[in-house]
Structure 1
């Protein structure tokens, strides 16, 4: 299950980065903000998984 969550985190981070870059390139502030939010969500999910792994071992 943890591998699935880690995959989701990496996917969200990548999608967020793409949206942020695309929004910045075309001057779309909403898309850029949406990308930053999605990337931050992925970062938080990744951090959560790292904490869970730390307590497993």
Structure 2
């Protein structure tokens, strides 16, 4: 979790991500990662939120 100045307030692991992503990009404040699922292109989207004071 980040505050409005992007200071780290808390963090947690994502148990579903068992390997480091090789290719990713950011869009609309989210992190998008490519994933091959049964020979189909899929995206894992990680949403980043910050705590508003």
Q: TM-score, normalised by structure 2?
A: 0.26
Q: Which has the higher strand share?
A: 2
Q: Which has the higher helix share?
A: 1
